[in-house]
Amino acid sequence: MAVSMRSTSVPRWRSDYSAVDDLAAGALVTFYVLVSDGSVGARVLRELSERVAPVPTRTLAVENVDGSGFDDLLSEARIGWRFVVAGSERTVGAVRSHLISAGALPAEISAVISDGDTGVRDVYCAHCHTTSPNVPVTVGGQTPCTGCSEELTVYYHFSRRHSAYLGYRADAEELP
């Protein structure tokens, strides 16, 4: 499957800290929230905190976006807050989606991927609208849907709203 990487929606996450520098460019930042998962070590969090100093920061570790105290923190958010999300691609996508749903602007969020491509993704089925979590599949590979059991091809389209890759029936182009 030939896909132009210029036109795909697959995220181009950064693994370096320059994304954090871009976050503050030309803006009055009053507070940073560093959100991370278990894949981010204490050294990385310390380096990110030093990078945003002397602006006040709060660090929040999440394993699951729901029920992690994340919503309590978001209820306190004000203009001037910036969010640095570090962790696996899956966590970064989910946290970013949650932040935007809560009212944050994409320009207020910086992402730092800690582990590159682990091959584990969430896949959104275009047929039954179920999201299959933690699927060990590559983009372009195939996996069964947990909702309708159809064999899905994981496409080069990443839904930022669903924080999942699009999956469609593997034989969809061959159906009459």
Q: How far apart are the first and last CA of the chain?
A: 21
Map out the domains of the chain as residue ranges.
18-113, 120-174
Query: Distance between CA atoms of 122 and 136, rounded to whole angstroms?
Result: 9
Q: Which helix (H) or strand (E) holds 34?
A: strand 31-36
Type of residue found at 95: V
As a dihedral over the C-alpha atoms of residue 118, residue 124, residue 126, residue 127, rounded to 10 degrees, the angle is: 110
Half-sphere exposure of 130 (CA within 13 A, CB side): 13
* 3-class SS shares of the chain: helix, strand, coil, % to 5: 25, 30, 45
Query: Distance between CA atoms of 60 and 96, rounded to whole angstroms?
Result: 14
CATH class for the domain made up of 18-113: alpha beta
132-166 pLDDT, tens per residue? 988 999 888 999 999 999 999 999 888 888 889 99
The bridge status of strand 151-159 relative to strand 164-169 is: antiparallel
pTM to 2 decimals? 0.75
- Written as tens digits, the pLDDT of the chain (176 aa) is 565 656 666 666 666 666 676 666 656 888 989 988 878 888 888 888 888 888 888 888 887 766 667 788 888 888 889 999 988 888 888 888 889 888 888 889 988 887 655 678 899 999 999 999 889 998 889 999 999 999 999 998 888 888 899 999 988 777 66
